Structure 1
Amino acid sequence: MSVYDERPWLGLYGDQAADKQLEYGNALEMFRAGVAADPDGAAVKYFDGVLTRAELDEQSDALASALLANGFGRGDRLAVYLQNVPQFLVCMVGTWKAGGVMVSINPMSRTRELSYLLKDSGATVLVCLETLYDDVARGVVPDTDVTVVLTTSELEYQSRNDERLFKGVNRQRHDGTTDFTELLQQHAGQTPPAVQFTPNDVAFLTYTSGTTGVPKGAMNTHGNVVFTASVYRDWARFAPGGSVFGIAPLFHITGLIGHIAVSFLAPSTLVLAYRFDPQVVLDALLEHRPTYTIGAITAFNALLGSPEFSKDHFSSFTSVYSGGAAISPTAEQAFLAETGKQVHNAYGLTETTSPMTLTPFGAPSPVDPTSGALSVGVPVPSTIVRIQGEDGQDLPLGEVGEIVAEGPQVVAGYWGKPQETAASLPGGALKSGDVGFMNPEGWIFIVDRKKDMINASGYKVWPREVEDVLAEHPAVRESAVVGVPDEKRGETVKAFVSVKPGATVTPEELIAHCRERMAAYKYPRQVEIIDELPKTVTGKILRRELRE
């Protein structure tokens, strides 16, 4: 038995750390329990619009009935190509009620990406915004298996026409498509036949970012969804009567679980604001007074950097978590100083259906004295985290290796890709591709992505460490460190930096800042100051684009 099997963190955090049993056999059962508990409660608030749990139940019944009438069957896939709008939830539950699998697609996907995702998933139904159909989907759908296209608008489910939100958005009808709302009205009052799922049935396909190759459809099961929703509810101390702010995109695993699924389970209200705009989000926080959220630290930093921000914007929150992008100790302390709230770290992947480790509520993450890294928490209940060497063997506590996870949140595999499943999920354990270590108290620290390690004159340099040092400089807003070719060193360290509004700094000053604080082989030899770092829609910085 290895030290990781002994799970040294068990018992440190009370009942939260005990092995968990699934409360519900599937995610649809979880949703229905929430409706039964509070049918008149708000399931979604979208600006001035409200959709109750009973109304969400009725509308998803209508959608499921419509899908079945159009030949949709057990195991078929419905692709959702939407922003953070209430229709997303109707589609999720309606797909399950029709016995199907939802495919969540990034609304920033363009022609090539959308074509690949629709073909790879074999989706037969596409639900998309009218604007996205006009700009992208119209030219893609004819070459896929999609036979039904439902279009809808971000203007639905609310009555505001704010130019900040919906500039240039007008209602459009397209040939060959069906209006989503009209279809629901046609099937209003209909109830689909009862459907049964096991915990092992696939609830939705979520696609990996493709940063290391072709995107792969992770098969998140109903058991995965129920388990991770309960982890967020229990570890974030989220209780009925609270509300979730949807700061993360709903198509992403953080939004699917940390926003939608936990709101179904609690049950609670999910507050949506279409898409991330700092001023719109700040207005929504004051209007709706949510109590819990989880999002990327880059999004929180954008809010704190807004001229309109005040501590009052976060005064209603009882719990704030962050995941999806690395947090430096400096960023954690800045958030606490600006909001008065402790941001709790979380770590997970698409393949772990969001959380594999979390910082227990009320416990600030420790900082490793050697690397300066902020811990991403301890393994969540029923989860075993191992640190393994290149040979696949467990490493002693404190040694750096690949993070490998086993537990009820790990997906069954990748859709239609048995070879990739065997390589990344051998025996059902996920090889994360992230490099880190565990300390004797059970806290996990991420050093970096395995593929991002820089080899400078034979020395290993992990970009995260350099980025954390750069974050300590008062002028630095964000940074990304990559390895670039160098005739003498093989590779050398280069930093791309964006500067805070009103601040000034030179590359030479940043190089000197790092040189004073790091070993000679680690500090960046090159610094390039740019306006914005390239990011995914979830706020993760794209080092790949900077390298290219």
Structure 2
Amino acid sequence: MPNNPWNKFYPTEIQPHLDYPDYRISDYLKLTAEQFPNHKAIHFFGKELTFQELITRSYQVANGLKDLGVKKGDRVAIMLPNTPQFVYCYFGILFAGGIVVQTNPLYVERELEHHFSDSGAKIVFCLDLVYPRVKAVKEKVGLEHIFTTSIPDGLPPLKKMLYPLVQKIKKGPTVDIDYSKEPIQTLHQFMENAKSTPVEDPNNPEDVAVLQYTGGTTGTPKGVMLTHKNLVANVTQCQAWAYKTERGEETVLAVVPLFHVYGMTICMLFAAAHAAKLVLIPKFDIDVMMKTIKTQRPTFFPGAPTLYQGIINHPKVTETDLSSIKFCISGSAPLPLTTQAKFEELTGGKLVEGYGLSESSPVICGNPVWGKSVNGSIGIPWPDTECKVVNPEGEEVKSGELGEIIGKGPQIMKGYWNKPEETAVTLKDGWLYTGDMGYMDENGYFYVVDRKKDLIIAGGYNIYPRDVEEVLYEHPVVKEVIVLGVPDEYRGETVKAYIVKKEGFTISEEALDQYCRSKLAAYKVPRIYEFRDELPKSMVGKILRRKLKEEEEEKLA
């Protein structure tokens, strides 16, 4: 590796170059089940599975798929929230030699039609609640087998029995499927009819393990081809970064969805490799999260800023013991400095910002957890990872100068599924062009200023939303904020801020304007403020800027 400026900031326990095992992803589960068969692998609202039980169920899924004729390279979709079923279906597909097609349970029919058609998946494991949407596209996309499961299927007996009553009281979603009249089978039946004998994964490390579809914020969603080697590299890098943790001793809290690349790698695959207990929460519910932290005592809690903000602002935060949390890596969105400071004060643990994309498995950079962490920075490149900032011609710029961040390393994707032209635009000579604008300081720490496409150009001035958001987050009344450019006849674009206030607080637009003018150059100050009860979010907790943009476009139309 070159003598990069960031190398000197690696803690002595982390080497800039690592040895990577010649594994397939399934080998992590196989090895851990051999070494820690009776260790708890999964906790789901009181129901627990050991690693031996987890691999046995994975083998059942694999044998069932092989009985259906699934062979190496066949795509099989999973459309489930964070449940035990997700984990053993995922590993079962890999043991059978298949490629996992990650599918968001919130996808509507139009999105599903593209998703299944593009991937070529003929089999899907889905939640019973989403079956009507899957059924609607079944014939169009040529789905051959649909296996449904439910949230109660992962619960302990008593909770499973009480679940319908609880849903009725809470007026939660319910489903009533007449399986005798539908061309589907339950996952439970499918597994009951399958053998549990061990299966040898036929994949090679260079083979594609997962098709991870991008969020579709720019054009049609694309299937990111992540190989076993890519994912093993990123898990190995994560283990090195988490050097103060002990294999077989940790508990990982998974609130971020496993169907998202971040939850998949940093929660599920890290837990399988590190023999850690994976505590699953199927959706973001702050009260459930607080109770789970209290009872399960997680040591590692990967998340997005909104999760940590939810904890900080919870009315019972001072009554909840959060001291088990050793460290958290925040991703998916910029981490406000005030959130980082307050969370570390409350837990006594470390909260550091990292950075990555679906195309990089996902992590490229991170602040050292127990080393030099720089507020506002996404940190330094992970081991064996190169990063630099380039101008529009692809030439590297000097430290401190703005440009596009690009990265290179063993975790970078193979390419986009069936899209060689788009692959060629994003991958050049092994470098991943991220589309994020930022800079590197003289020490080799990187900073994301904003997405290229989110840049606001008002009256000829370049305005990066993050600059304005950071200032607004520092205001004691602001709970959540997002800033974007909206059309303006005079300036071309103007700055608009969408704000969620903390409970029980009020503030006027005039007062916020005065505050911003004391902290920002005049051209950056929002001209429009809109107060909301909540902001649109993805299941990973990322505020969806594009949804707000769509709203503005509809107003204009």
Shared fold, TM over 0.5: yes
* Secondary structure class of the residue paired with 1:504: coil
User: Which residue, 151, 176, 191 being the options, matches 2:183?
Assistant: 176
Structure 1: gaps of 5 or more residues: 368-373
Residues 127 and 150 in structure 2, CA contact (< 8 A), matched pair in contact too: yes
Partner in structure 1 of residue 7 of structure 2: 10
TM-score, normalization: structure 1?
A: 0.95
Deviations 1:253-274 (A, max 9, x none): 1110011110111111101122
What SS does the aligned partner of 2:269 have? helix
**Contact 2:37–2:50 (Cα < 8 Å) also in 1:** yes
Q: Is residue 282–residue 313 contact of structure 1 (8 Å, CA) maintained in 2?
A: no
- Residues 119/313 of structure 1: CA separation in 2 closer, same or farther (3 Å cut): farther
One-letter amino acid matched to 2:351 = V
Structure 2 matches for 1:74-153, cutoff 5 A?
74-134=72-132, 136-153=133-150
- Output the amino acid matched with 2:64: A
Contact 2:9 2:371 in 1 (8 A): no
* More off after superposition, 515-524 vs 399-408: 515-524
Asked whether the equivalents of residues 389 and 395 of structure 1 are also in contact (C-alpha less than 8 Å), the reply is yes
Indicate the residue corresponding to 1:371 in structure 2.
none
Q: Distance in 2 between matches of 1:329 and 1:93?
A: 38
Q: Does 1:213 align with 2:215?
A: no
Q: SS at the partner of 1:290?
A: coil
Q: 2:53 aligns with which of 52, 55, 62?
A: 55
1:353 match: 361
Q: Which whole-Å deviations, capped at 9, do the CAs of 1:164-208 have from their partners, x for residues lacking one?
A: 78934467443111111121111133344x233222111111111
Q: Evaluate the alpha carbon distance shift between residue 190 and residue 341 of structure 1 in structure 2; reply closer, same or farther with a 3 A threshold.
A: closer
Number of aligned pairs?
Answer: 537
Q: State yes or no: 1:251 paired with 2:259.
A: yes
Cα separation, 1, equivalents of 2:183 and 2:256: 32
What is the distance in 1 between the residues matched to 2:536 and 2:150? 28
Q: C-alpha separation between the residues in 2 aligned to 1:428 and 1:77?
A: 26
Correspondence for 2:532:
530
Q: What is the alpha-carbon distance in structure 2 between the residues aligned to residue 494 and residue 170 of structure 1?
A: 41
**Whole-Å separation in 1 of the counterparts to 2:487 and 2:224:** 34
Whether the 8 Å CA contact 1:507–1:529 is kept in 2: the answer is no
Normalised by the length of structure 2, the TM-score is: 0.93
Tell whether 2:285 aligns with 1:287: no
Is the CA contact (8 Å cut-off) linking 2:367 and 2:374 kept in structure 1? no
- The answer to whether structure 1 residue 226 and structure 2 residue 223 are counterparts is no
What is the one-letter code of the residue matched to 2:315?
A: P
CA drift of 1:534 comes to: 1.5
Mapped partners of 2:531, 2:508: distance in 1: 8
Deviations 1:79-121 (A, max 9, x none): 0000100011111111111111001111111111112111111
Taking a change above 3 Å as real, the CA distance of residues 66 and 390 of structure 1, as seen in their structure-2 partners, is: same
Task: Specify the code of the residue in structure 2 equivalent to 1:156.
Answer: D
Check whether the contact 1:104–1:205 (CA below 8 A) recurs between aligned residues: yes
- 1:438-487 alpha-carbon deviations (Å, 9 max, x no partner): 11111111101111111111111100000000111110111111112222
CA-to-aligned-CA distance 1:29-72 (integer Å, 9 cap, x gap): 22211111101111111111111111111111111111111111
Output the CA distance in 1 between the equivalents of 2:118 and 2:103: 12
User: For residues 491 and 5 of structure 1, do their structure 2 counterparts lie closer, same or farther at Cα, with a shift above 3 Å needed?
Assistant: farther
Matches within 5 A, 1:463-542: 463-542=465-544
* Higher mean displacement: 154-163 or 452-461: 154-163
- Report how far residue 508 of structure 1 moved: 1.5
Q: Kindly, what percent of the aligned residue pairs are identical?
A: 36
CA distance in 1, matches of 2:320, 2:533: 29
Q: Aligned equivalents of 2:214 and 2:318: distance in 1? A: 35
Cα displacement (A) at 1:362: 2.1
Q: Say whether residues 1:306 and 2:304 are aligned partners.
A: no
Asked whether the equivalents of residues 354 and 367 of structure 2 are also in contact (C-alpha less than 8 Å), the reply is yes
Residue aligned with 1:91, SS: helix
**8 Å CA contact 2:207, 2:228 repeated in 1:** yes
Q: Distance in 2 between matches of 1:178 and 1:333?
A: 49
Per mean C-alpha deviation after superposition, the further-off stretch among 332-341 and 432-441 is: 332-341
Residue 501 (structure 1) shift: 0.7
Comparing 383-392 with 111-120, greater Cα deviation is found at: 111-120
Counterpart selection for 1:339 from 347, 353, 360: 347
- Is the 2:57–2:88 contact (alpha carbons within 8 Å) kept by the matching residues of 1? yes
User: Structure 2 counterpart of 1:253, which letter?
Assistant: V
Flag the 1:248–1:364 CA change in 2: closer, same or farther, 3 A: farther
**Number of the residue aligned with 2:437:** 435
Letter in 1 for 2:471: V
* Cα displacement (A) at 1:24: 3.6
Q: Which one of 314, 328, 340 corresponds to residue 320 of structure 1?
A: 328
Deviates more, 1:516-525 or 1:5-14: 5-14
